[in-house]
Chain A
């Protein structure tokens, strides 16, 4: 006999279901008066440092139809490449930037949209710079376990080329599923759940 490891198992995930808004964005549903505002709605204020951008897109199913009941969360560094988190020991992040946003997809069009700033670069485990990126987490009816992916920026071609994570992807043809195209101040990032253009999801 040896000692027991005494590890617990992570609770199993269950779908967020079609009514995730009740718990996470009740004001979006018109159920106001319980919480003053939906958490994660505003990431920036007047004093936030960095380049203002809009990140928009859709989550598209295997038939090409956008999901109208998905919930998207994003997590990113500030303009200087620091996270607003107690586990960030490299410095103090911009106090006027939360780094975390949460938005439902529109009930009619399926479009989501975040007002944020372009993140700075953060290090990989070996100290090399990663390309600027935004972490995404997607939940919805029919998704049993929340999906993690990342959005990179089309106008950061050089940084993307030397990014340690993009570089290790075997199927180079799929890298473009992670790259948002820029038009003026708006980046568009469509997430494909299936098919030839299936977005790369990460097991992190």
Chain B
């Protein structure tokens, strides 16, 4: 951890109108899995403002390289080679250093390496589909992978997920824990997707769409997409709301 001045402030309240609602019937599985009662609020305590942090020592050399981390020696995954990079920021705009990012995705044909996956597209023997990294002092990160394919899924009779990469993020407080998905600029499946449309604010959807980043493309090798992620921010104020006299 490079964080010499750990933060201990409470988090800004979560904007639940920006986040997807629990009950989104066009995404059918949410119907029986969405809590129906209002979540209960209470002020952040030490249990919410603390959280696990991870050192770079947990990382293997190729953890952030999905093209090679499951491939046989000398081989690589099939598909469009891409760099996915960006920064993890908090709501105050500060880079979040030391943030663990875990990603998972389908292969170039839209097929996941998973026991419960039944799509007819073939597995790629050189592609596992997971990667992880930890942000640097500025909050920046980078993965190398192949562009995942869109895939059909059982919801309506003919629903297709836009190409996407799943992202899991840790900040430094358990209340910041977030799982989201990155989409690709220009994908016509994005506005058709019931999972995307669980988010009601169009600006919140746009925030999940990574633009093509030609400046960071590696010539004759890989295109780049830029994806910044924002975690909840904390109050910086040292003033606690202690009862008078305490």
Contact = CB atoms under 8 A, between A and B. Distances in A.
A137 B176 CA distance: 11
Nearest to A93: B50
Interface of chain B, helix or strand or loop or mixed? Answer: loop
A124 B132 CA distance: 34
A157 interface: no
A69 to B, nearest CB: 7
Interface string A37-77: 00110000000000000000000011101010100010111
A22 B130 CA distance: 6
Given A34-B128, A61-B32, A198-B35, A85 B52 contact: yes
B221 interface: no
A14 B52 contact: no
Contacts of A89: 6, 8
Range class of the B interface residue count: 35 or more
B49 interface: yes
A59 to B, nearest CB: 9
Interface stretch (A109-117, A126-134, A179-187): A126-134
Interface in B176-228: 177-181, 195-196, 198-199, 201, 203-205, 207-208
B18 A126 contact: no
A84 B114 CA distance: 33
Contacts of B18: 9-10, 12
A87 B8 contact: yes
Contacts, number: 273
A141 B21 CA distance: 14
A79 to B, nearest CB: 15
Contacts of B80: none
A12 B52 contact: no
Contacts of A16: 166, 168, 179
Q: Indicate the member of A10, A34, A125, A201 with the most B CB atoms within 10 Å.
A: A10
Interface in B145-160: none
A11 B39 contact: no
B175 A122 contact: no
Nearest to B234: A87
B42 interface: yes
A23 B166 contact: yes
Interface size grouping (class) on chain A: 35 or more
Question: What DSSP secondary structure best describes chain A's contact surface?
Answer: loop
Contacts of A84: 52
A172 to B, nearest CB: 13
A23 B104 contact: yes
A15 B161 CA distance: 12
Given A10-B14, A19-B104, A194-B32, A35 B129 contact: no
Nearest to A150: B47
A23 B128 contact: no
A10 B231 contact: yes
Interface in A1-36: 6-24, 26, 29-31, 33-36
Given A13-B180, A87-B172, 18 more contacts: A8-B91, A9-B204, A12-B208, A22-B128, A29-B115, A33-B70, A34-B128, A34-B130, A75-B51, A85-B6, A86-B1, A87-B51, A88-B50, A100-B51, A126-B246, A144-B22, A146-B178, A203-B14
Interface of B: 1, 3, 6-8, 11, 13-16, 18-22, 24, 27, 29-37, 39-54, 58, 60, 63, 69-70, 89-93, 102-104, 112-117, 128-130, 132, 166, 168, 172-175, 177-181, 195-196, 198-199, 201, 203-205, 207-208, 229-233, 240-243, 246
